[in-house]
């Protein structure tokens, strides 16, 4: 009869809801690779869409039960009404949980790509630092040229900490949830090691350039004093020549 048919439909919907909960909400998920995470996001999106499509069936079933109750004897009302209320509540809870988990995983996926973006930006900057360090290995010229190389290096090293802070926070957020933790830790270790090595090399290069500037300045000063001394001597000798003074008449040093 109609009651049996309605209860069968209600039971089938209950089974589908229970299966969906077990499949997408009750299982323990582990995301050890971006591929696994992406697959989970796509599966939850499909599950959410499928649940939304079931809304029409739930509404039709609700209308059928309500129509039957309106015409059926009062004795048949309570059990069906209770089953319908349980179904409606279970369905709404399922949709809410699927939406929540789907949103969370989409945020995690976006967080992962944001982390990759910041790592890419910082690694590009480290590439620039590496190239600059190579360019300043053997700077030729005087104090001015060396000073320009030092200024150029120091300008590049005045790099904001914002990106690195973002990397730490995003990585912490993901690994705290056990998401891609091994991969993220590997990437961070590689990045941090390279960052520390280049920073240490940059400090050494700055000191070397500063010493080279000081040395060049001392050399320039010495050359200037020699030039001044030679100019004075040239002037004195020119005066002797003009006065036709014979070398033999001069003191030994002047000779």
- Does residue 161 fall inside a structural domain? yes
Under a CB-based contact definition with an 8 Å cutoff, are residues 220 and 143 in contact?
Answer: yes
Least confidently predicted of 31-35, 54-58, 75-79, 240-244 = 75-79
Question: Can you tell me the mean pLDDT for 9-22?
Answer: 92
Residue 151 located in a structural domain: yes
Task: Name the band, by pLDDT with cuts 50, 70 and 90, for residue 255.
Answer: low
Residue 205 belongs to a domain: yes
Query: pLDDT (tens digit, 9 = 90+) per residue, 191-222?
Result: 999 999 999 999 999 999 999 888 888 888 88
Residue 250's pLDDT is: 66
Enclosing domain of residue 168 = 2-212
Mean residue pLDDT across the chain: 89
Averaged pLDDT for residues 144-150: 90
Helices (H), 22-161: 34-71, 77-135, 143-157
**What mean pLDDT comes out for the span 157-170?**
93
- Is 203 among the domain residues? yes
How many helices (H) and strands (E) the chain has is answered by 6, 0
Q: State how many domains the chain has.
A: 1
Q: Let me know: does 143 contact 213? Beta carbons within 8 Å.
A: yes
User: 35 in a domain, yes or no?
Assistant: yes
Domain CATH for 181? 1.20.58.60
Q: How far apart are CA 175 and CA 147, in angstroms?
A: 45
Give the pLDDT of residue 75: 66
* Residue 123, pLDDT score: 96
- In a domain, residue 39? The reply is yes
* In a domain? residue 232: no
């Amino acid at each position: 009869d109609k009651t049996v048919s309605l209860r069968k439909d209600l039971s089938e919907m209950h089974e589908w809801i229970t299966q969906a909960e077990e499949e997408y909400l009750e299982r323990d998920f582990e995301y050890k690779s971006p591929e696994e995470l992406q697959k989970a996001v796509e599966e939850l999106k499909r599950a959410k869409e499928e649940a939304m499509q079931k809304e029409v069936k739930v509404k039709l079933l609700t209308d059928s039960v309500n129509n039957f109750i309106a015409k059926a004897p009062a004795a048949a009302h309570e059990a069906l009404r209770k089953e319908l209320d349980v179904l409606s509540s279970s369905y709404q809870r399922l949709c809410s949980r699927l939406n929540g988990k789907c949103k969370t995983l989409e945020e995690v996926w976006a967080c992962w790509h944001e982390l990759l973006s910041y790592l890419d930006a910082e690694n590009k900057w480290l590439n620039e630092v590496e190239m600059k360090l190579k360019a300043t290995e053997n700077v030729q010229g005087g104090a001015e040229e060396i000073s320009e190389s030092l200024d150029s290096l120091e300008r590049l090293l005045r790099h904001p900490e914002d990106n690195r802070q973002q990397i730490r926070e995003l990585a912490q957020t993901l690994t705290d949830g056990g998401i891609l933790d091994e991969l993220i830790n590997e990437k961070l270790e590689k990045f941090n090691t390279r960052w520390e090595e280049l920073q240490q090399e940059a400090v050494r290069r700055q000191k070397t350039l500063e010493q080279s500037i000081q040395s060049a300045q001392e050399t320039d000063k010495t050359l200037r004093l020699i030039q001044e001394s030679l100019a004075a001597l040239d002037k004195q000798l020119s005066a002797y020549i003009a006065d036709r003074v014979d070398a033999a008449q001069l003191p030994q040093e002047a000779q």
